[in-house]
Amino acid sequence: MKQTITLLLILCISYAQAQNADSVTIRKFYNEALANGKSYEWLRHLTKQVGPRLSGSTGAQKAVDWTKQLMEQEGFDRVFLQDVMVPHWVRGAKEVAYIQNGKQKTTVPIAALGGSVATAPKGVEAGVIEVTSFPELRALGADKVKGKIVFYNRPMDPTKINTFEAYGGAVDQRANGATEAAKLGAVGAIVRSMNPRHDDYPHVGGMRYGTGVPLIPTAAISTNGADLLSKMLKENPNLTFYFKQNCETLPDAKSYNVIGEIKGSEKPDEIIVVGGHLDSWDLAEGAQDDGAGCMQSIEVLRLFKALGIKPKRTLRAVMFMNEENGLRGGVQYADLAKKNNEKHMAAVESDAGGFTPRGFGIVGTPEQRAKVMPWKPLLAPYGLLEIGAGGGGADIGPLAQSGTVLFGFRPDSQRYFDYHHTAVDNFEVVSQRELELGAASMAALIYLLDQYGL
C-alpha cells in the first residue's frame, strides 16, 4: 500500500512538472508572436502586393510563387509544390441590376455567384417570385414560376450565437438555388447575401448546377437590396427585375498547393498539418478569408524555429488551392498522402478569419477527443475555452478518411460575415493583435499534439 501511494505521488509530481514545462513553452509562443510576429506584415504583402486570388487567375499564381519564396526564405527544411487542376471562372464586366416598378427604376447591388453562367448580352428582365425555402418554391409549381426570376430571401438566423450556424442554415439557397428554380422553368435566380447585418455589399460564393437542369444565371443581392426588393414586391407584385452579368467558365487551369515543412526529430514519418486556403474570391484582397489563416499557418512553423523547438513529428504548413469553388487542393493533398503512404496524425485549419481566438473544434473519436481534454488548463489562460467536438475545416476534411484527427481553429465569429466574400475583405479589417494571438494559439495546440500524440 505504501509503495502504491509513493508511486502515485511520483506520477502526480511528474505530471505537474510536465504541465509546468508545457506552460512555460506555450507562454514563449505567445511572447514571440506578440513581440516579433511576422504574420501581419506577411498578410500586408499578400493582400496589397498580390491581391485577389481566385483559382486559375494570375493573382492565384502570384500567391503560389510568393508563398513558396517566403517559406524558402524562412529556412524550412523542405518547401515544395503539389500540382492540382482547378476551375477557372471569371466574372467579366461589373454586373448591373435594377428594379422596374412602373416608371420607377431603382438600381440595386448584385454580384454573380461563382460558377454561374452569364445572362444574354442584353440581360434578363422578368417578374419576380419571392420565396424563403425550396419547399415553398416547389409548392408554387411550374405554372407560377415559369418565365420568372426566383428571389430567395431567407436571412441568416440572427438568434444563433455562432454565426457559422446561421450561415449553415441559409447557404443552401446560394448553392442550389439556381438548380431548384430552373427545374420549374425560372429564367434566373437572385439570392439574399449570406450576411447577418444590413449593408450594400453583395456576398458572393460558389454555386453548382444539377445534372440535366437548364443553366440559368444567378447572383447575390445585398441585404439592403433584398429588403428593398421584398418591400416593393409587397406593394406591387407585378414589378420586374433586370440584371446583366458577363461571367464565363474557362477550361481548367493548372495550379498548386504550396507546402513547407520542418522535419520531425524522433517520428519524422508522422505528420501534423497546419493550413489555410490560398485562393480567395475576386472582389477584394481576401484578408480574413483566408489570407489570415495562411499567414498564421506559416507563422506557426516560424515560431518553432525562432524558439529553437525541434518537433518530434514533421510539421507541415499547407497553402491549399481552390477551397472557394471546388476544394480541388484539399482532395489532391489527401489523395497524394494516401498514394505516398503518409501518416497524418492530425491536421489544423484556420479558415474562420483572424479574429480573437476562442478554441478549437475537434473531429475524431471520443477517445481521441478525450486525450485533448487534459490540455484545456494549459490553453485556458489564453481564452481558448471552446475545445470539443466540432468542425475541422473544408481543406483538411478529406484527410479524415485516413483516420487523421481534424482541428478547426475557432476565432470569435461575430464579425466574420461582415466581410466574408465581399468587396470589403481587405487588409485594413484585420487586427494585428488578434491575428498574432491566433497564430500563437495554433502553435500551442500543435506543440501539445507533437509532444503527446493522439
Cell of 195: 450576411
Active-site position among 32, 285, 323, 349: 323
What residues contact residue 161 under an 8 Å CB cut-off, 6+ apart? none
What residues contact residue 396 under an 8 Å CB cut-off, 6+ apart? 273, 275, 330, 347, 348, 349, 404, 406
323 is catalytic: yes
Contact 278, 294 (CB under 8 A): yes
Active site residues: 323
